[in-house]
Amino acid sequence: MSVTPSTAPAALSDQEVQELDAHWRAANYLAVGQIYLMANPLLREPLRPEHIKPRLLGHWGTSPGLNLVHTHLNRIVKQRDLDTICVWGPGHGGPAVLANSWLEGSYSETYPDVSRDAEGMAKLFRQFSFPGGVPSHVAPETPGSIHEGGELGYALSHAYGAALDNPGLLVACVIGDGEAETGPLAASWHGNKFLDPVHDGAVLPVLHLNGYKIANPTVLARLPEDELDALLRGYGHEPLYVSGQDPLAVHRAMAAALDTALERIAAIQRAAREDGATGRPAWPVIVLRTPKGWTGPAEVDGVPVEGTWRAHQVPLDQVRDNPDHLARLEAWLRSYRPEELFDATGRPLPGVLACVPDGTRRLGSNPHTNGGLLLRDLPLPPLEDYAVPVDKPGTTLHEPTRILGDLLEQVMADTAERRDFRLVGPDETASNRLQAVYAATGKAWQAATVPTDEHLARDGRVMEILSEHTCQGWLEGYLLTGRHGLFSCYEAFVHIVDSMVNQHIKWLRTSRGIAWRAPIASLNYLLTSHVWRQDHNGFSHQDPGFVDHVLNKSPEAVRVYFPPDANTLLATADHVLRSRDYVNVVVAGKQPCFDWLTLDEARVHCARGAGVWEWAGTDDGTREPDVVLAAAGDVPTQEVIAAAGLLRRELPDLAVRVVNVVDLARLMPAEEHPHGMPDAEFDALFTRDRPVIFAYHGYPWLIHRLAYRRAVHPQLHVRGYKESGTTTTPFDMVVRNDLDRYRLVMDVIDRTPGLAVRAAAVRQRMADQRARHHDWIREYGTDLPEVADWTRGS
Ligand SMILES: Cc1ncc(C[n+]2csc(CCOP(=O)(O)OP(=O)(O)O)c2C)c(N)n1
Ligand SMILES: [Mg+2]
């Protein structure tokens, strides 16, 4: 099969082509200037070594392609008055996006000291990748960006997230051909099976086939054309090809491709919105095949550079010391004919700016890229409508996530018109017991359906794809453009997005320091189907380490919650869904769990983040407790309460304080985390010197890490998951990891001074119980009746 360009040349006048080319040359000039120059920005005098930055940093190779896309997006945005943003996958091409932002004036409006004249150009150049300046990548500091592009792979899922529920928005998305090799990017092509042409905007991918990554060719660039074409069509796209290296011909081809793409998009949207078409449309994708480092030095020191992998970063790297490199840089810069692009004061000439749209239509000024400006508070129903009654703690059971599902159903119903809340997850919404939401909205789906399917809907706002990366990327794109959402995930598999969440936390951390970036809704995780209750799946599904991972990150942007029952989960959810600029990790089980707190108690407990549960202990406040039993997590809470009950019965004169921690960061020092407890408060709660037996949901080391500075730390003994997992009974999981009530009682006896001898018989009974448990489950396959039927008070 032969692939012919599927676009007709646009009827551009020669003047239009010249103006587009002038804009592109100006952007290229500014990109090169940022990489190399710290003085003499307009080359008003011959280039000398002292004009050159001492450290040459940045990425040239992708920049001419990005500049081409930006120039041509300007044209169609202006011509068609489009509401458009662009996600720059090769975000390492920061010089290109900054250059365009400066040209269109967005940059100087955002940063007035970098004015659109010679003085501002000098600053623009100098600040790039310079100490105290701006990052070399597209970053939160870059006007018009929602995507860092440092860690490759997330461009297209971000673009889809931005387009969801933004029916008037066009989201262009440049995908590096290297980036296209990543797993996350490969999965995200399928976003087009979820995008509703009626309620969502359009995504226009531009596959940037410059042929190379850092040091290698790219897979897609070396496929025979018909194979690439088949691949993209297989992804459900209609490819439009632009290729060449003659700038004026490429301008014409690119303009034609964009015109065609926009016409196709308009036709798809019209068919769906006006004619009720329900087929899955083949959305256009532009394949842009131009040389890497196009217009840069063709060869350097005798080796080819332009159009090869050598163009990736800085093509001439000894400019200060090597006169030949210096002369070639000057020739390279002058090849853009800056005197035709900028006036005597350094301002871009009118012809250069002819394609640039105005005001908020400019890509660097579109409010969708500063989503907090558009954010509205989420309507959250009164928690009283969902709370479970608790007459006596530990006597009734509910599935916490199911209760939360009822609340989320209402949130979905209340946002049916405004469409600014999405629930994402890798195929686990129902498994995680949140299926009540389906009563209010369906699962987004544009592909084929069969009669046995359930809850699939073209306009659904639950997003389920078995790609945690894609879920994460969609949600990030959605939040960054000013909406709300929740990601529900199996606890063990959320690790798949470790690296993505790193980047999002970095983004939030940096954005907090940028005055013009308005706060956005937090990224909320509900981690369920957790380590302690993997009844179906066992060891492969057991890993509570995501919390360890996120707590390494900027503390000001991370919150971790362990609500121990249904009402505390409601109070926590209410809190996180109202919060801004955080990554909130909420870990809660889906299995029946004892109700400990009424809604009012849950609210104050969550507000405190950690507190004494007086009713559970024997610490009557008349003297210091002999021992503290602490818990974080639903299963550890149950074991601690059961252990406290055993101690009350077996050692009634022992003063046991029961502490529950719902907000893990409270354990951190106040100087290290905004939620951290001052020492005085911590010492009062946990004592300075009594044994503290801490039953924790995850890996025990984390609690030591968080509490190592506290006075009581030498007395702190943490029980948690120690990688002993399998498919077994719920109680056996805690026994295997020494987190069970009997082991906790033994810990108390072992660590409380004076108890070892006095309570030797009690300790022995506890050990015997563990032995009985061992034999019982092997004989009957279920937990001991006194464990399985345990309630507080029994
Ligand atoms: C996930 C990830 N892996 C590796 C890198 C290191 N890296 C930076 S740029 C690059 C090559 C990118 O090639 P491509 O996507 O084709 O971009 P372009 O050619 O437009 O520069 C690589 C591997 C990265 N940034 N992210
Ligand atoms: Mg490339």
Strands 583-587 and 462-464: unpaired
> How far apart are the CA of 65 and the centre of ligand 1, in A?
15
Check: CB of residue 657 under 8 Å from CB of residue 620: no
Looking at residue 746, what is its pLDDT?
98
Contact 678, 711 (CB under 8 A): no
Q: What are the C-alpha distances in Å from 568 to residues 393, 395, 676, 685?
A: 13, 16, 20, 20
Averaged pLDDT for residues 51-65 = 96
Question: Is pLDDT above 70 for 2?
Answer: no
Give the C-alpha separation, 554 to 699, whole Å. Answer: 20
151 close to ligand 1 (CB < 6 Angstrom): yes
Q: Is residue 358 within 8 Å of residue 79, measured between CB atoms?
A: no
Return the residue matching tokens 């000013």: 482
Counting beta carbons within 10 angstroms of the beta carbon of residue 622, is it exposed (0 to 12), middle (13 to 18) or buried (19 or more)?
exposed
User: For all residues of the chain together, what is the average pLDDT?
Assistant: 96
Instruction: Indicate the range of 4-13, 134-143, 309-318, 474-483 predicted with least confidence.
Output: 4-13
Residue 306 C-alpha to ligand 2 middle, in angstroms? 13
Burial class (CB in 10 A: 0-12, 13-18, 19+), 246: exposed
Of 213, 306, 469, the one to substitute when testing ligand 1's pocket (max ligand atoms within 8 A of C-beta) is 213
pTM given for the model = 0.97
Q: Are 81 and 169 in contact (CB under 8 A)?
A: no
Which of 152, 212, 290 gets mutated to test ligand 1 (max ligand atoms within 8 A of its CB)? Answer: 152
Q: Is the CB of 152 under 6 A from ligand 1?
A: yes
CB 191 within 8 A of CB 474: yes
Tokens of 407: 């609340």
Asked whether 439 and 186 are in contact (CB, 8 A), the reply is: no
Atom of ligand 1 nearest to the CA of 182: 1
Question: Residue 274: its pLDDT value, please?
Answer: 97
Q: Which pLDDT does position 11 carry in this prediction?
A: 79
Cα–Cα distance measured from residue 481 to residue 475, given in angstroms and rounded to the nearest whole number = 10
Sign of CA dihedral 100, 112, 58, 496: negative
pLDDT digits (tens, 9 = 90+) for 562-615: 999 999 999 999 999 999 999 999 999 889 999 999 999 999 999 999 999 999
**Nearest ligand for residue 313 CA:** 1
Q: With pLDDT > 70 as the criterion, what percentage of the chain qualifies?
A: 99
Answer whether 61 contacts ligand 1 (Cβ < 6 A). Answer: yes
Evaluate if residue 6 carries a pLDDT over 70. Answer: no
CA of 3 from ligand 2 middle (Å) equals 21
Query: Strand order of the sheet with strand 692-696?
Result: 610-612, 656-661, 627-632, 692-696, 716-719
Q: Is 773 in the pocket of ligand 1 (CB under 6 A)?
A: no
> Taking the mean position of all CA atoms in its chain, how far away is CA 492?
17
Ligand having the closest approach to the CA of 289: 2
- pLDDT number for residue 1: 30
**pLDDT value at residue 794:** 66
Contact 588, 637 (CB under 8 A): no
Does residue 122 register a pLDDT over 60?
Answer: yes
* CB of 387 closer than 8 Å to CB of 570: yes
**What burial class does residue 536 get, using C-beta atoms within 10 Å of its C-beta: 0-12 exposed, 13-18 middle, 19+ buried?**
exposed
Average pLDDT score over residue span 435-447: 96
Q: Which atom of ligand 1 is nearest to the CA of 93?
A: 21
Task: Please tell me if the CB atom of residue 562 comes closer than 6 angstroms to any atom of ligand 1.
Answer: no
Given a contact cutoff of 8 angstroms between Cβ atoms, the answer to whether 145 and 138 are in contact is yes
164-194 pLDDT tens trace: 999 999 999 999 999 999 999 999 999 999 9
Do the beta carbons of residue 335 and residue 24 sit within 8 Å? Answer: no
Output the CA 236–ligand 1 centroid distance in Å.
25
Average pLDDT, stretch 121-126? 98
- At residue 715, the pLDDT reads 98
Does the beta carbon of 94 lie inside 6 Å of ligand 1? no
Tell me: pLDDT of 770 over 90.
Answer: yes
CA 462, 477, 568, 394: dihedral to nearest 10 degrees? 50
What are 233-272's pLDDT values in tens digits? Answer: 999 999 999 999 999 999 999 999 999 999 999 999 999 9
What is the tens place of the pLDDT at every residue in 391-416? 999 999 999 999 999 999 999 999 99
Buried b (16+ CB within 10 A) or exposed e, 639-656: bbbbbbbbbeebbeebbb
- Cα of 553 vs centre of ligand 2, distance in Å, is 30
Q: What is the pLDDT of residues 454-491, one digit of tens each?
A: 999 999 999 999 999 999 999 999 999 999 999 999 99
Q: How close is the Cα of 20 to the center of ligand 2, in Å?
A: 23
| pLDDT band with cut points at 50, 70 and 90 for residue 8 | low
Model confidence at 30: pLDDT above 70: yes
Residue 421, pLDDT > 50, answer: yes
Is the pLDDT confidence value at 368 over 60?
yes
Q: Are 538 and 489 in contact (CB under 8 A)?
A: no
